[in-house]
Chains A and B, each alone.
Chain A
């Protein structure tokens, strides 16, 4: 047997209170696409950070082509041929592609030479990109190309990709896979991190599955069913949320001809958005992040005011009402960013319960706060949604992401809204918690509430929503019934390939 490209043996890394990686061992062969599979918090990120020299293992060893390998910093890892494309891009919007790439280099060549090398590499790998375009004008898929090209210029032996498809439409994913296949055929190994099982089944040669920091199994993805892999990932049989057949009532929320500029500079303006949600209906809004999701939530929560008639609740114009007035009517929202937007990090859970609950739960009288009632409301949320915390006096930031998300969603659901808008309700939440959040949303709809679920997780939207629309550059596609929608159709609603070309391979 040949020596593998990278061998990990017994890697362990503990943080205060949690063992992120516990005795993880596996090999990545030359020219192999190796999947690293696991839920959020399974320890995938810590593991690749150790390979990339960002984190030092507490114990265990790595070897690269048989030689001991212990990069003290990313620079050393890059010198040894390891490159990484992060989930969150580190690009400057105001600079052009070549300038951004030059910033990440030790000794950047003159700009003209660099630009021609970028052209050369981008054409070889089917990633067409103009080195002189400003990054601020690029789509998410194109930005990812910048990151990939930045890595390819180093001529890597191992390319690490952290959830690369979370920002891509299905068509863009196909283009990316062509490129990765070409790299594999040239002998480059790829470590591919994801929790999307179908992708891994199409692309990867081998998969290692992590659960709670431990290597719980390996498999050949093309020969294993998605369900089996999911159960290895979660460690138990999965519960699919129940969806009972529902009758839809009258239109509860009616948005028509809505156009607003974004409050932030690199945000996305909403352009002529139309949508109607009936009582008992769940409308799923898909789309790649940054296409107007935050703005849509702001418009519905009352943080961004519009003309009165653009947003109607039960026929009543509410476009000019602020968040408090809308809550009074029964229009509740749960934003994506938990810390700092949906909740105040340093305040207690009791105070955070007051944040949106004051009007509907009667937590104030004549402006004076009723702390006892507020605390019991917080306790009710903690109990009903199984929020793991010692008690409501703890600061919001002391909760894990998933627990805080359950608290934030529970806070709105328990106020029995007539319209509930949630943005990324299960982002960064483990599978069990995500299932219970989805169930709560469906139960709420079953009671007759109109629900809008904004999410980038298409599987989630297919699972819970009755109709589906997609945001693309601030425009919302016409909503369609979910049943019978194909992945291709969804992809086209999300904007197709955004004008990107298929790799010439």
Chain B
């Protein structure tokens, strides 16, 4: 007798956007708490932990991703206004950024050529097929923009979103250990590098270093998104991919 109401309850919950939305927010809060509690231990990156827990939960319960997304889309939607909001920290650092326009432009150029060049070369060397290569090419671009680029160059947008998130999380996790190792101590250089390779997730990480690192990361992310959206389709067709 007691199984029937529970079953009915589960059918309701797993189909309701409320459950997915609550689970996403609660997971993120717990993961953030854990991250702060462990002194920001890199491997416990809140995005990584939340994604793993939620993905595992979906696999275990058999709830389809589409059902989950019906609730989670309210969070996903905020990526748009948040991208616009990045203008705010940029504006506050505008004077400093303007003074260093030439070094920033040059470092961005070096970084973008290195990132895209190595992605395409290594993807080819490790035997990824065309669809995979086209889907992984825009991985350092912020997810909503990367999906748009993937669509234009013939990749799979949803796969690109996954690669972009993985890259963002990986960049955010390794950034500080690597930057310490190569002795980069200036928050401007740290922020720009993190934002260029790991977009919004990296920018979120950079804001935890300092406001200045966050502003440079936001700038790098915005420039990477804009420049990649404009040049990547032409670059790929020039390379015959």
Do they bind each other? no
Which A positions have Cβ atoms within 8 angstroms of B? none
